[in-house]
Amino acid sequence: MADNEGNIDAKSFGVGVPQTQEQFFLKGNENASYGIKSRLSQVFNKKSGHTVMLAFDHGFIMGPTSGLERIDLTINPLIEYSDCIMCTRGILRSVIPPTANKPISFRADGGTTILTSLNDETLIDIEEAVRLNVSLLAIMVAIGDPDHEGSTIRNLTKTVDLGQRYGIPTLGVTAVGKNLTRDSRYLGLATRVCAENGANVIKTYYCDEKFEQVTNACPVPIVIAGGKKLPERDALQLAKNAIDQGAAGVDMGRNIFQADSPVAMLLAVREIVHNGATVDQAFDCYETYKNQAK
């Protein structure tokens, strides 16, 4: 029981000193709830304002993708070098140790595969996301897909509503579509639609022309997917271009786990995303770590 006698008098009331109140560091999320901001702060580094997310959710549409045949052997050793992992609940529960203690960008929808139409998605129960202690709800949005645009926007809307209720931010993922063009006009429209529908962060692709128009017209942070495997230096250049043109990070998969040396690649990408390294510096870093790992 608390002792009522002999206590030191409270006297540090800071009279005249206004209570400190910090502005939230991620654009467009100042008015989000405490839970949403707290989870976003787990995913994004407050100092750089950026994130390096490691995506390995490919299996849910592509099956055992190269580099992901045995996630326990190839991905688990990489997790410590990432800021956040993006995966499905099946892989999370079966392969990722809970002791990894990394923020999770949770594939909160399940859908059709490369064998059929892609993007016919269904939502996973929000309580599953709560049970799995996730930091982001990732939802595929197929803007421009005549068959699935409406249903995937409904999925996004529903997820944002549930995310608001439980304090979990939503990541709108602009879809991988067989017939979708990845130019600034399309990506600008798709990212903006996701943001207008309430996503807290958007994942999309980089485009060579006018990408800064995409990031500028999007009121919340954008992270980029890496896409198909490129030579390592080209993938670093892609990350550099995206960051220089306003991306808040990367959510990369194949260009990391299919690299000659995945740990070295992840560390080199971090140099660009968090430390402002040039492509030459990052590539030197890649070569150095790769040789050390041999």
The verdict on 173 binding ligand 5RP (CB under 6 A) reads yes
From the list 169, 226, 249, 262, which residue makes contact with ligand 5RP (rule: CB under 6 A)? 226
- Told to judge if 158 belongs to the known catalytic residues of this protein, a careful annotator would answer no
The verdict on 252 binding ligand 5RP (CB under 6 A) reads yes
Identify which of residues 48 and 174 has a Cβ nearer to ligand 5RP in the complex: 174
The verdict on 227 binding ligand 5RP (CB under 6 A) reads yes
The verdict on 68 binding ligand 5RP (CB under 6 A) reads no
Q: Radius of gyration over alpha carbons of the chain, in Å? A: 20
From the list 32, 54, 91, 140, which residue makes contact with ligand 5RP (rule: CB under 6 A)? 140
From the list 134, 141, 214, 225, which residue makes contact with ligand 5RP (rule: CB under 6 A)? 225
CB under 6 A: which stretch of 31-39, 72-80, 158-166, 225-233 binds ligand 5RP? 225-233
Residue 86 in tokens = 């993006």
Q: What is the rounded CA–CA span in Å between residue 18 and residue 261? A: 51
From the list 50, 254, 274, 290, which residue makes contact with ligand 5RP (rule: CB under 6 A)? 254
Contacts with ligand 5RP, residue ranges (CB under 6 A)? 55, 57-58, 86, 140, 173, 176, 203, 225-227, 251-255
